């Protein structure tokens, strides 16, 4: 009977051969999520190309328009660079990891800024709301910058495939500030829309739940604003949870 030292691997150059079983499983899940997320994002961008074209060509280009496109295309660049980092052989993992983290910083900051502008508009440029959410956005800006400083990259074993390394404790600041900001945005928008459109005072919990969670009885535009924010919050934080778990 052959000993364990005599067992040869069919493909010793796969990165999974150099990882413990639990880490290999986590990395595999991360790769699936990354590639799947990139596919969905590309489909979404292609679907909305006519709308984006009209917004860019037929409408006056404003600051929110610039931030919208910065958020959209930096998100695509982040998804592509992450997919390459997780799945493709690369010569310099350290450099690519810095690119991924830098694009992540731009993506998170620009997307949060877009939601800051949305909250400001919904609250009709209220001074206190604007100042409060701008401070929260600055927290996201600084928190996402820690990703650039707290992560690096390395080759997995003798392969050309990459993995993140040198995790610093303060890297969680990026996730904490983002969760706090997104939660405050969701609560603020829900509260504003409910106070604006729910004209009938009622103690019926089911009625309030249908109104606040489902956008029931809201005008179409307001309901779209509410549900768009809810979908962003749900999908974004599910994705964040998966990455943190892996």
**Among 65, 43, 64, 44, which Cα is nearest to 54's?**
65
Render pLDDT for 81-125 as a digit per residue (tens, 0 to 9).
999 999 999 999 999 999 999 999 999 999 999 999 999 998 988
Higher pLDDT, 231 or 171: 171
The whole-number pLDDT of residue 165 equals: 84
Higher pLDDT, 67 or 58: 67
In contact, 41 and 72? CB cutoff 8 Å: no
Most confident of 133-147, 160-174, 193-207: 133-147
Q: Is the pLDDT of residue 216 over 60?
A: no
User: What's the pLDDT band for 246 if we cut at 50, 70, 90?
Assistant: very low
User: What's the pLDDT band for 164 if we cut at 50, 70, 90?
Assistant: confident
Most confident of 146-150, 182-186, 242-246: 182-186
Higher pLDDT, 46 or 24: 46
Average pLDDT, the chain: 81
The whole-number pLDDT of residue 168 equals: 78
Q: Is the pLDDT of residue 240 over 50?
A: yes
Share of the chain above pLDDT 70, in %: 74
Could you tell me the sign of the dihedral formed by the alpha carbons of 115, 71, 91, 27, in that order?
positive
Render pLDDT for 190-201 as a digit per residue (tens, 0 to 9).
878 777 655 555
The whole-number pLDDT of residue 96 equals: 94
In contact, 149 and 142? CB cutoff 8 Å: no
Mean pLDDT of the 221-232 span? 63
Higher pLDDT, 66 or 21: 66
The whole-number pLDDT of residue 1 equals: 43
| Secondary structure, 3-state, 58-114 | CCCCCHHHHHHHHHHHHHHHHHHHHHHHHHCCCCCHHHHHHHHHHHHHHHHHHHHHH
By CB atoms closer than 10 A (0-12, 13-18, 19+), residue 215 is buried
**Among 23, 27, 12, 152, which Cα is nearest to 87's?**
27
Q: Which residue has the tokens 């401070």?
A: 135
The whole-number pLDDT of residue 28 equals: 85
What is the third-level CATH fold of 20-245?
Rhopdopsin 7-helix transmembrane proteins (1.20.1070)
How do the domains of the chain map onto residue ranges?
20-245
């Amino acid at each position: 009977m052959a000993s364990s030292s005599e067992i040869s691997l069919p493909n010793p150059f796969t990165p999974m051969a150099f990882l413990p079983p639990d880490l290999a499983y986590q990395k595999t899940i991360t790769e699936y999520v990354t590639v799947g997320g990139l596919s969905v994002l590309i489909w979404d961008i292609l679907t909305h190309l006519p709308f984006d074209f009209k917004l860019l060509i037929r409408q006056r280009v404003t600051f929110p328009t610039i931030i919208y496109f910065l958020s959209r295309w930096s998100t695509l660049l982040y998804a592509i660079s992450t997919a390459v980092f997780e799945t493709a052989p690369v010569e310099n993992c350290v450099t690519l990891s810095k690119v991924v983290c830098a694009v992540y910083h731009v993506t998170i900051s620009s997307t949060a800024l877009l939601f800051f502008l949305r909250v400001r508009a919904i609250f009709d440029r209220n001074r206190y709301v604007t100042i409060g959410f701008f401070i929260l956005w600055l927290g996201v800006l600084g928190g996402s910058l820690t990703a650039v400083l707290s992560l690096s990259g390395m080759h997995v074993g003798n392969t050309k495939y990459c993995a993140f390394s040198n995790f610093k404790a303060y890297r969680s600041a990026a996730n904490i500030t983002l969760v706090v900001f997104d939660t405050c945005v969701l609560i603020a928008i829900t509260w504003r829309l409910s106070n604006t459109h729910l004209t009938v005072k009622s103690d019926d919990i089911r009625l309030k739940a249908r109104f606040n969670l489902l956008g029931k009885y809201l005008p179409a535009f307001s309901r779209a604003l509410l549900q768009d924010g809810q979908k962003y919050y749900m999908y974004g934080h599910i994705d964040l949870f998966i990455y943190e778990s892996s």
